[in-house]
Amino acid sequence: MHMTGDLKELFENNRMWAEATEARTPGFFTNLLKQQAPQYLWIGCADSRVPANELVGLLPGELFVHRNVANVVAHSDLNCLSVVQFATDMLRVRHIIIVGHSGCGGVAAALHNRRVGIADNWIRYVQDVRNQHEEWLETVDAAQRVDALCELNVIEQARNLCHTTMVQDAWNRGQELVVHGWFYGLHNGLLEDLKMTVSRPEQVRDAYQGALAALRARRTPSAASGDSPVEGT
C-alpha cells in the first residue's frame, strides 16, 4: 500500500521536529531513554484542539497523559484506572488533573440526548451528571448550558477520581498526591481552576461543595444566594 501525500507530510514534519528539538537541546532524546519522571497526570478529552503538553508548556517526559471522550473517570474503565495506578504507584506523580474544555462535543451530545453511535454508551456517564444537576442546569442561560455541564462534568469526574482505590491507597500510605479540576477555554486558550482541589480523603466533600457553589455563582450569579445546599460527598 502506497503512503498518501498527507501521511508523508506527517513523517516529514516529525523529522523536522526531531532535528529542531535535538539542535535546540543536544542529547534530548538520549535523556528521554533513561526514564520518565513526570510530576503530573493529565486526564483530558480526546478532542484534537486540546493538546495537553503544548498548552501547559511541558516537554515530552514531563506530563503523563490519558485522554478519552469527555474526560470521564469511570470505576468500570480499566483503561483509565490502569493509567491512574501506574501514575500513582510507579511514577509517583504529585498531581492528577482532570481537564475539560469549552464546547465539548461529547458533553453537548449528552446534554441534548444526541445519538452518535457506540459512544452513546460512554456518554451515558455524562448524562448521569446532567440528570443529577438537571434542575440547576435549566436555570442557566441556554447559550452557556453546554459549558456549564462541561464544568460540572469536570467536578464530578474529579470526585470520582478521589474515590478510586488507587488514589485512596496513595493517600492512606501518606503519599503526596493532589487531585485538581480544570477547564480549558477554546476561545482564549486559557486554563481555569475550578477549585476542585483535594489532597486528603477528608477534603473531598468540602472541595466538591465549594466547587459546585463557585460554578453556580459564576453561571447564575443572581440566583447564587438562593441556592440550596449542595448534597453529596
Separation between Cα atoms, residue 134 and residue 30, nearest integer Å: 52
Q: Which residues are catalytic?
A: 45, 47, 49, 101, 104
Contact of 105 with 48, CB cutoff 8 Å: no
Place of cell 459546585: 212
Q: Give the Cα separation of 183 and 211 in Å (integer).
A: 12
- Classify the phi-psi angles of 216: left when phi > 0, otherwise alpha if psi is within -120 to 50, otherwise beta: alpha
Among 67, 94, 77, which residue's Cα sits nearest to residue 178?
A: 94
How far apart, in whole angstroms, are the C-alpha atoms of residue 72 and residue 62?
22
3-state secondary structure of 73: coil
